[in-house]
Amino acid sequence: MNTPNDWPRPVDGLITPRFAGPATFMRLPLRDSAEDVDIALLGIPFDGAVTNRPGTRHGPRALREASTLMRRVHPVSLIEPYTLCRVADLGDSETNPVDVMGTLALVEARVASIRATGAWTLAGGGDHLMSLPILRGIIRAKLGLAPLGMVHFDAHSDTADTNFGGSRFTHGTPFRRAIEEGLLDPKRIVQIGIRGSLYEKDDMAWAQEAGIRIIRIEECEELGPDGVAAEARRVVGKGPAYLTFDIDSLDPAFAPGTGTPEVGGLTPREAMRMLRGLRGLQFIGADVVEVSPPFDPGGNTAMVGATMMFEILCLLAEARASR
Amino acid sequence: MNTPNDWPRPVDGLITPRFAGPATFMRLPLRDSAEDVDIALLGIPFDGAVTNRPGTRHGPRALREASTLMRRVHPVSLIEPYTLCRVADLGDSETNPVDVMGTLALVEARVASIRATGAWTLAGGGDHLMSLPILRGIIRAKLGLAPLGMVHFDAHSDTADTNFGGSRFTHGTPFRRAIEEGLLDPKRIVQIGIRGSLYEKDDMAWAQEAGIRIIRIEECEELGPDGVAAEARRVVGKGPAYLTFDIDSLDPAFAPGTGTPEVGGLTPREAMRMLRGLRGLQFIGADVVEVSPPFDPGGNTAMVGATMMFEILCLLAEARASR
Amino acid sequence: MNTPNDWPRPVDGLITPRFAGPATFMRLPLRDSAEDVDIALLGIPFDGAVTNRPGTRHGPRALREASTLMRRVHPVSLIEPYTLCRVADLGDSETNPVDVMGTLALVEARVASIRATGAWTLAGGGDHLMSLPILRGIIRAKLGLAPLGMVHFDAHSDTADTNFGGSRFTHGTPFRRAIEEGLLDPKRIVQIGIRGSLYEKDDMAWAQEAGIRIIRIEECEELGPDGVAAEARRVVGKGPAYLTFDIDSLDPAFAPGTGTPEVGGLTPREAMRMLRGLRGLQFIGADVVEVSPPFDPGGNTAMVGATMMFEILCLLAEARASR
Amino acid sequence: MNTPNDWPRPVDGLITPRFAGPATFMRLPLRDSAEDVDIALLGIPFDGAVTNRPGTRHGPRALREASTLMRRVHPVSLIEPYTLCRVADLGDSETNPVDVMGTLALVEARVASIRATGAWTLAGGGDHLMSLPILRGIIRAKLGLAPLGMVHFDAHSDTADTNFGGSRFTHGTPFRRAIEEGLLDPKRIVQIGIRGSLYEKDDMAWAQEAGIRIIRIEECEELGPDGVAAEARRVVGKGPAYLTFDIDSLDPAFAPGTGTPEVGGLTPREAMRMLRGLRGLQFIGADVVEVSPPFDPGGNTAMVGATMMFEILCLLAEARASR
Amino acid sequence: MNTPNDWPRPVDGLITPRFAGPATFMRLPLRDSAEDVDIALLGIPFDGAVTNRPGTRHGPRALREASTLMRRVHPVSLIEPYTLCRVADLGDSETNPVDVMGTLALVEARVASIRATGAWTLAGGGDHLMSLPILRGIIRAKLGLAPLGMVHFDAHSDTADTNFGGSRFTHGTPFRRAIEEGLLDPKRIVQIGIRGSLYEKDDMAWAQEAGIRIIRIEECEELGPDGVAAEARRVVGKGPAYLTFDIDSLDPAFAPGTGTPEVGGLTPREAMRMLRGLRGLQFIGADVVEVSPPFDPGGNTAMVGATMMFEILCLLAEARASR
Amino acid sequence: MNTPNDWPRPVDGLITPRFAGPATFMRLPLRDSAEDVDIALLGIPFDGAVTNRPGTRHGPRALREASTLMRRVHPVSLIEPYTLCRVADLGDSETNPVDVMGTLALVEARVASIRATGAWTLAGGGDHLMSLPILRGIIRAKLGLAPLGMVHFDAHSDTADTNFGGSRFTHGTPFRRAIEEGLLDPKRIVQIGIRGSLYEKDDMAWAQEAGIRIIRIEECEELGPDGVAAEARRVVGKGPAYLTFDIDSLDPAFAPGTGTPEVGGLTPREAMRMLRGLRGLQFIGADVVEVSPPFDPGGNTAMVGATMMFEILCLLAEARASR
């Protein structure tokens, strides 16, 4: 079995320019199998469940391209993920752009196959419905795993029951489904950055009654990033947890390339400080979703997304190394 | 019953600037019902069946915006569509972005309801699968209507059997389905502008065996626009016919905003000259599809699409007036 | 007479996708007349008075498009504007792009005709000179109305005397004219977010001597959003007031699509918090101006503008309902 | 008096990179006065008379930037304009963006002051109304000059009487005014590339009755570029003439950055071949207008415009040298 | 040794969507070594030798992304390159963005190492200077290889002696160097599409005296694509030859993303027809260069470039299979 | 000798619109010589030393264009730089885009020639390596000048030893070279805004050991802008100093047009407040670098850059006037 020491590191930008070569996640080698991998970086090119602007099917390639700017060491925690873990780009999950239900099955199967090797998944999406088959793939592949806690960065709660007169599987519903299916423990879920006008006064009623801790953007301001992180740690507590980062948690000035932008969001500095405050949580999987390149002619959204992937990779690597 | 004389004409750009007011198709009034309407301009905001780049759900609004530059008289034929027919913007068909099959039913129902009033539909899409429910709506709503002939501008034949391991309803399959369902008579179909590399040598075998007349781009060059139009008239002959204009029939320099561009296509001048050569055919419906605004930062694709809609509107108006 | 209960609400994005249908302000019905309307949403497509980059003539359509993402309930105050008031899209005012003085008359007439029904106007511009004919339309249409107070978000004071050697009607002069004409009471005006280099040290002398309370961006930082709102409430006091929101009050990273951007402006979070702090003021009209889509390839400016329109709509609806 | 031999040539791109230095027209020196100049390159930054999309006020700077790619010798005729004539960048005419009539006076005065030195003007606009004060400046400044002939490349005839209910000075009316004022001889005018839908069947009636020779795009196709040039030479004949090149004569795929694009226009190759066929005509002034950079995110429009300016400069230089 | 039969084919777009997975050239597998490869697709990410706009260092990734739209069979010749030859993506050559001379050595070494296995190189650049080290790598790696013939599509002759006061290695000089070094036989070189204004009347003198056959764009029009191809075949004749395709040979409307655009170029249809007319020539290597994505916000340039790569791949595959 | 009183001021935007005329820095006159100039605004169009995305060769023109929005008086300090000093646009330094070492010599010579007149240089770049020849030009041109202190805004320390296996002159190395050459005193250098992932844990070791005071972005947050400014004043102390402002010190939402963006940077408000806190330091030169227009389709980066140039110009003017 490999150890991190002889596992391939990212291509070195000090030697080979960052614009050179086909882009893989973090300039890591592309692998067909998760065998011997600790953390699998997986693209999920899908936007079949979005309710407004599409384009997240193009997210994985844009994230890969932007991730070539990432280096190897976290600048504040000094975590070195590639020293702690064996990390690889597993390519993209199969998806079917014209078949939502089929794609749910394909992604679950792919994540489960990764999980079967013991590896963890850090996914780059893809629309937010994709968190559902990832969670299915993680939980169903591992007997006895209890519902997970979750730290959820987003402008939206994504706990609607249906859209469009009965559609139960959209990017507005994944966490309702996941709770119903016993994949998540709502009392260990914290949602950060929620905002935007409401359809009805009680839009959040189901989520709140289920026990989800919602920290709206206004409360984020009051608590400050450190306060939010502390609250997130309190809610999620000990036990395995998932981290999902919807890029629309950020203000659209920082991340315009997304399908349902909401004005007045987090700044990347706030988000990074919050993420850095989550060290110690027992994350076993994560995703960064809703990056839609066609709506960002400048490309900054993918840059921000890749930066968040690196922040999260450091959290995962430390969590895994300290098991 | 109204006559065109007292039917509302487009807002006059010589009085009210073209950038003013909410954009409707051709600056016509927005109607809930097709009652008393001869030609219904209908948006179909959908991209759930595209195989590559999405975005055509945003096509109808972009076409409306661009159509505010259209005026009232055809510059060459001097056809005045609004003198010949009562034309209105019927708004958009209901669609469900996360449900292909549901959308097929919604669009068919909407077109059938228009057809039930006797009005004809000129649709602005939307992906090319949407031609299928339009044809269903036209044929099924009118007892005894034989399979239609069709003039089909496109880079692709769109007669594949399936995509992605079995999906039968994508924007690559509508005309195979339409022929199988008896909506179209393949021997009266002409496809113009077909090009691009092939998956297999026999990609077109089914279409050719079915009797479709395929005029590849190379043959378009040889025949010239007038020759292509003559051949199209010969193939389609007398009898009711449909006209479908995929914006990717044009070279992507002229129409970059589309999902599956193919280099080396028609110029707008060629396409307009071909369309003008189709006078006399008995068109009873038409569409302009595959306009995807997110992939055209300059906006020219919608401008070209709106221009083609006006060209086609003139054909429809003349055909209807001369019944 | 209608009541809000049977007045049309915005099209529901949970049923009909937000990208569907011709775009109207807030997805409300389009009305020719303000009869029975409480709050009229009015586009003013004009940029004939801008001193630097044009394009605000295209602002109303972009604001309408972006406003389709707004929902029905304010997320913090829980104000439901469509329950409190009857709101409609009144289309665009007539304008003449080549005639500044003519446009002043056209817009005043249109606003006065709305005012004559008793309705209030919330305008989406258009350049900032358009605030002048709106104020004229409000004041002149209603006998006995005293000069209004005003909350004015902007990077610039817009109280110059002339531009370009004598032009008295530009987007840099509307509030000087309005004060001279007795439409505004300078002692009840507060300007928020003013910044940018000066032509002369005493650029603001006239405004300050007139009694306008200028809160430069540096003072905004010191006071904080709540402090700014408190100061605005103090200055404007009781009595009818107008609210004008120049999108360039925001930093150009958040709202690049504007004609005279100034680096270092408000964030949308700050602006929204300030607006939310203005509840209780007796606003009777408002505008959001200077949205110039051609200078924002990403489109975020209109999104921010539409969000501010919704924030302001809530203020107006509450003010009107509580009369 | 200077001769071309010791007159400054353009900065040499083989020595100083073309991206270096403040951009002037053709990398020529910037002059305050036309004294000793044969051909004055003059910017006219104005869009106050456009009826649809604005932005041509930013045209001169974009043309200057793009013109830094031009070299010194015509590739086919081998004309060397800087050897034949003394050419300089005269900067921009004063304009007033909020005052159409004032700008007409400012531009006329500036062109007349250039003409007073004996120099000819090649203007880079600016909207097409600007041709009117240029013609005024040329004719009025030189006693006894008869009405000029004109070669006019355009999608539109620009001979409307009024726009917007009576406005007589818009970019749709300049040549009607010029003919009325005796600046142009309609029987020596040829319009090339006219196209697009019509408001009324007789939109062109006034122009045709006045004697203007209109070569619509369809006839351009039939005649071919050489035939069009021959016809233009026939119509204009001997005697002083003006050349006006509206960038919207070109198809918007080649020149998207313009205010009233019409699909199906000339290609640059056709236009250049036509221009090259105009050698021998007695041009004494010219302009390239309607370049609107905000509507061309890629920048090609200005590149095409600068190329046309160089083609026209060669015509002017040869005409002047051969007097 | 592998045969094409069991060599990996491109990922099938009918099964796996074309937007899925990290992008490689033509969706082929990425290989470290050219062992067993017939045709090596090689990226050369470099722009250190450009004289005007940079950005071609980002060309290879953009070409890979666009090439995912290519299929497997040529639509006209029905050549199946992957049946004839084993083709792979060899990744990018090492380059040093701050060191022109160093990069010349790195690229030559890389191409030579490919050549050493017997494989041919089809490169995607990169600026045009890169043709020089490719030619060096081909010739120097194979003893006894005579100077090559060359078909050269370009707006510029690229046979200058120096730029910027003595720099001998820029993208304006590669073929002068290659001829001086005996890599190319000037009498077997044909240049197609040359155009644009000249620095001096005799800009092309050296090339013409060396015996290069220059077919300017005007002559291309006269000969037509078939005539150009015939002339190219005549000039190059029998014997090994190279094919270099500068994307700026095309009109910038079709390929705006390039550093030194020249208005009035080839259309893709013309270029493809010319390429298809070159069957039978003994090409042993080729490149497509000067694709600069930052100057093409719409992305069409890379699409055209990838299409040309596929056209050329078919030529190479047939040439190699028929040896 | 001139005094500021009769020295040309910027063109007045209240008279001549800001979009008019060829763009020079701050709308100042263009001068060939620095004679009588106090502060020379100098463009340095170069990107030959960048390690990731190029494009800064186009920075100077974009900065000039954006600087036409600057006015004459600082809004907070009320410094009037053009009253204090004679300021002019000196055009661009000669550069050679294909020759890094040659460009170092050209820029040093140009700056030295300016320095020889006694004028100070405020440069608009250009990549960050250009700070090195500027410093050489300043120091070497003035005998006896001790190593300078420096305030350095940047995301990166730019004190690497080499890139790409030995290249010693890249935009990642200028200040290591400058310290080695005795141009800068590391103990009087403060770096502000440093952030981003690291290649190795000890990336900053050399800089720290040399005595540079690094204020990472996290410490900037803790100290606040006033605290950072105080610390900068403390570190730099008395004695001549240089100010270098890398635009990537700002968050890429505010300044996307740069080559090596790092998420989570300074806001312009923070940066401006820090700059304003540096009054009293003895700056004798400065630059604003790394503005890469091709990567900013909206153009805000240059706007921010021009604003920072104006802020810095005020610092320089006050410093010079108070000597």
Q: What is the pLDDT of residues D265-321, one digit of tens each?
A: 999 999 999 999 999 999 999 999 999 999 998 899 999 999 999 999 999 999 999
Residue E1 pLDDT > 50: no
Work out whether strand A87-92 and strand C87-92 pair parallel, antiparallel, or are unpaired.
unpaired
Assigned domain for E32 exists: no
- Over residues F115-131, the mean pLDDT reads 97
In angstroms, the CA C156 to CA E298 distance is 35
Per-residue pLDDT averaged across A38-58, rounded?
Answer: 98
Q: Which residue of A has its CA nearest to C19?
A: A52
Cβ–Cβ of E69/B203 closer than 8 Å?
Answer: no
* Mean pLDDT value across chain E: 96
Predicted confidence (pLDDT) at residue E315 exceeds the cutoff of 50: yes
Contacts of C21 in chain B (CB under 8 A): 43, 45, 91-92
What pLDDT, in 10s, does the model give residues A254-295? 999 999 999 999 999 999 999 999 999 999 999 999 999 999
Q: What is the pLDDT of residues D82-128, one digit of tens each?
A: 999 999 999 999 999 999 999 999 999 999 999 999 999 999 999 99
> Under an 8 A CB cutoff, do E91 and A16 touch?
no
- Provide, as residue numbers in chain E, all residues whose Cβ is less than 8 Å from the Cβ of B197: 70-75, 310
Task: Compute the average pLDDT of residues E292-312.
Answer: 96
User: Testing the interface with D: which of E154, E161, E197, E266 to mutate, by most D Cβ within 10 A?
Assistant: E197
**Cβ neighbourhood burial of E4 (10 Å; 0-12, 13-18, 19+):** middle
Among C22, C30, C92, select the one facing B64 at the smallest CB separation: C22
Q: Do B164 and E307 touch (CB under 8 A)?
A: no
Residue F305, preceding bond cis, omega within 30 degrees? Answer: no
> How do the pLDDT tens digits run along chain C, 323 residues long?
456 878 999 999 999 999 999 999 999 999 999 999 999 999 999 999 999 999 999 999 999 999 999 999 999 999 999 999 999 999 999 999 999 999 999 999 999 999 999 999 999 999 999 999 999 999 987 777 889 999 999 999 999 999 998 999 999 999 999 999 999 999 999 999 999 999 999 999 999 999 999 999 999 999 999 999 999 999 999 999 999 999 999 999 999 999 999 999 999 999 999 999 999 999 999 999 999 999 998 899 999 999 999 999 999 999 999 98
What is the 8-class DSSP label of residue C284? E
Chain B positions touching D295 (Cβ under 8 A) are: 298-299
For E217-243, how does the pLDDT look when each residue is reduced to its tens digit (9 = 90+)?
Answer: 999 999 999 999 999 999 999 999 999
Q: Give the per-residue pLDDT at D1.
A: 45
Locate E68 and state its tokens.
Answer: 């995912």
Q: How many CB pairs under 8 A join D and F?
A: 67
Strand-pair category, E39-44 with E87-92: parallel
- Chain C residues close to B45, C-beta within 8 Å: 17, 19-21
Mutate to test the interface with C, among A52, A197, A248 (most CBs of C within 10 A): A197
**Is B197 in contact with E298 (Cβ distance < 8 A)?**
no
With respect to residue F65, please indicate whether it lies within any of the assigned structural domains.
Answer: yes
Please name the chains neighbouring C, where neighbouring means 3+ C-beta pairs under 8 angstroms. A, B, D, F
How far apart are the C-alpha atoms of A292 and C270, rounded to whole Å? 27
Give the lowest-confidence range in C248-252, D139-143, D160-164: D139-143
Terminal-to-terminal C-alpha distance of chain E: 18
pLDDT at A2 over 70: no
Nearest to F73 among C53, C200, C216 (CB): C200
Q: In what order do the strands lie in the sheet with A148-153?
A: A87-92, A39-44, A120-125, A282-289, A240-246, A148-153, A184-194, A213-216
By CB atoms closer than 10 A (0-12, 13-18, 19+), residue A117 is middle
Cβ pair C48:D48 closer than 8 A: yes
How far from F116 is each of A77, C16, E19, F37, F105, CA to CA, in Å?
A: 48, 71, 58, 11, 16
Q: How do residues F27-70 score in pLDDT, each as one tens digit?
A: 999 999 999 999 999 999 999 999 999 999 999 999 999 999 99
Q: What pLDDT does B181 receive?
A: 96
Q: Could you list the beta-strand ranges (E) of chain E.
A: 39-44, 87-92, 120-125, 148-153, 184-194, 213-216, 240-246, 282-289
Interval F169-183 mean pLDDT = 97
CA distance B103 to B114: 17
The per-residue pLDDT of chain C, averaged, comes to: 96
The residues, ordered by sequence, that sit 6+ positions from F111 with a Cβ below 8 Å of its Cβ are F42, F93, F121, F123, F133, F134, F136, F137, F138, F141
Query: Within chain D, what is the greatest distance between any pair of CA atoms?
Result: 56
At residue B296, the pLDDT reads 95
Cα–Cα distance, A276 to A297 (Å, whole number): 29
Q: Which residues, given as ranges, of chain B have pLDDT below 70?
A: 1-3
DSSP string of B66-130, one letter each residue: HHTT--SB-TTT---HHHHS-EEEEEE----TT-HHHHHHHHHHHHHHHHHTT-EEEEEES-GGG
Confidence of residue F75 (pLDDT cuts 50, 70, 90): very high
* Strand spans (E) along B134-180: 148-153
Nearest to A59 by CA among A308, A314, A267, A311: A308
Query: What is the distance between the alpha carbons of residues A40 and A35, in angstroms, rounded to a whole number?
Result: 10
Contacts (Cβ under 8 Å, ≥6 apart) of B53:
A58, A294, B258, B259, B260, B292, B295, E19
Residue B202 lies in a domain: yes
Would you say residue B126 lies in a domain?
Answer: yes
Alpha-carbon gap, residue D225 to D229, rounded angstroms = 6
Taking only the tens place, the pLDDT of each residue in F143-172 is 778 899 999 999 999 999 999 989 999 999
Nearest chain D residue (CA) to C48: D98
Average pLDDT of the residues in F266-289: 98
Among candidates C17, C76, C304 on the partner chain, residue whose Cβ is nearest the Cβ of A52: C17
State how many domains chain F has: 1
Q: What pLDDT, on a 0 to 100 scale, did the predictor assign at position E323?
A: 86
pLDDT band at F295 (very low <50, low <70, confident <90, very high): very high
Instruction: Quote the mean pLDDT of chain A.
Output: 96
Tell me the residue range of the domain where A142 lies. 37-163+181-321
Cβ separation A22–E22 shorter than 8 A: yes
**In a domain? residue A27:** no
pLDDT at F317 over 60: yes
Among F52, F176, F197, F250, the strongest candidate for a mutation testing the A interface, having the largest count of A CBs within 10 A, is F197
Q: Contact F302/F56 with Cβ under 8 angstroms?
A: no
Residue F247: pLDDT band (50, 70, 90) is very high
Contacts of A96 in chain E (CB under 8 A): 17
pLDDT at A5: 79
The side-by-side arrangement of strands in the sheet containing C120-125 is C87-92, C39-44, C120-125, C282-289, C240-246, C148-153, C184-194, C213-216
- Please provide the average confidence, as pLDDT, over all residues in chain F: 96
Tell me whether residue A31 is in a domain: no
Question: Is the Cβ–Cβ distance between B130 and B81 less than 8 Å?
Answer: no
Q: Is C192 exposed, middle or buried (0-12, 13-18, 19+ CB in 10 A)?
A: buried
Residue F1 clears pLDDT 50, i.e. is over it:
no
Residue A141 has pLDDT above 80, yes or no: no
B25 falls within a domain: no
Residues 6+ apart with CB under 8 A from F6: none
> By percentage, how much of chain A surpasses pLDDT 70?
99
Confidence at residue C144, expressed as pLDDT on a 0 to 100 scale: 79
Q: Which of C19, C73, C300 sits opposite A197 (nearest CB)?
A: C73
Q: Are the CB atoms for C42 and C286 separated by under 8 Å? A: no
CATH number assigned to the domain comprising residue B284:
3.40.800.10
User: Tokens standing for D260?
Assistant: 């009233």
Cβ F250 vs Cβ F266: under 8 Å: yes
pLDDT band at F6 (very low <50, low <70, confident <90, very high): confident
Phi/psi for C102 (5° steps) reads -60, -40
Q: Give the tens place of pLDDT for each residue, E47-73.
A: 999 999 999 999 999 999 999 999 999
Q: What gap in Å lies between CA F151 and CA F275, rounded to an integer? A: 10
Give yes or no for a cis peptide into F126 (omega within 30° of 0).
yes
Residues F193-225: tens digit of each pLDDT: 999 999 999 999 999 999 999 999 999 999 999
- Sign (positive/negative) of CA torsion F215, F217, F218, F221? positive
**CB neighbours of A249 closer than 8 A, spacing ≥ 6?**
A153, A154, A155, A192, A193, A265, A266, A271
Instruction: Please tell me the distance in Å from A62's CA to the nearest CA on chain E.
Output: 10
The ipTM, to two decimals, is: 0.96
pLDDT score recorded for residue A1: 45
**pLDDT tier, A95 (very low <50, low <70, confident <90, very high otherwise):** very high
In a domain, B7, yes or no: no
- pLDDT above 70 for E2: no
